[in-house]
Amino acid sequence: MKWLVLLLLALIIFGGAAWFGYNAFIKEEIEVKKEQRGEVTPAPTPDISLPEFQAAAQLRQEGKLTETRDALIAFIEKYPAGLHVEEAKDLLGEINVDILLSRYPSPEKPNTWWSREMFWQRSLENSKRRQSSSCG
């Protein structure tokens, strides 16, 4: 019975030492070699920018064009190397075109809305200029 207790005690001591040595030295060395050979796949990076991008997309669905544009510009400035930057740039381009082609008021829009009177007045002014420059 004494020899059984000694055998059990030896297994516990030497087994624990072997387990510690394997985890401390050998396991790390194996992982380093796998990384050097390229066998280890890197852990996926968490997408921390997704909620902000979805919030900007939601603003577009609600029809708030200037707020969407401001949110997308802030998103691109905050996450220049983010996973959704290209999508944000595409969406920003679509928003800018929507603002330009819609009747939505915007300070960046060129004011090209003319009435008939303005058109005829401008046409008369141009024709008078042409006549005066050709006569003179």
Reply yes or no on whether the pLDDT at 81 is more than 80.
yes
| Lowest mean pLDDT, pick from 3-17, 81-95, 96-110 | 96-110
Q: Which residue has the higher pLDDT, 128 or 86?
A: 86
DSSP track, 106-131: -TTS------HHHHHHHHHHHHHHHH
Reply yes or no on whether the pLDDT at 106 is more than 80.
no
Q: Which residue has the higher pLDDT, 109 or 72?
A: 72
88 CB neighbour count, 10 Å cutoff: 22
Q: Which residue has the higher pLDDT, 79 or 36?
A: 79
Average pLDDT of every residue of the chain: 82
Residue 40: partners with Cβ closer than 8 Å, 6 or more residues away: 31, 34
* Cβ atoms of residues 78 and 52 within 8 Å: yes
**pLDDT tens figures, 8-65:** 888 888 888 888 888 888 888 888 888 888 776 777 778 888 999 999 999 999 988 8
**pLDDT tens figures, 17-31:** 888 888 888 888 888
Question: Which pLDDT score, from 0 to 100, does residue 110 have?
Answer: 62
* Cβ atoms of residues 100 and 91 within 8 Å: no
Residue with tokens 């603002």: 99
The full set of domain ranges for the chain reads 1-38, 50-101
**Distance of alpha carbon 46 from alpha carbon 52, whole angstroms:** 14
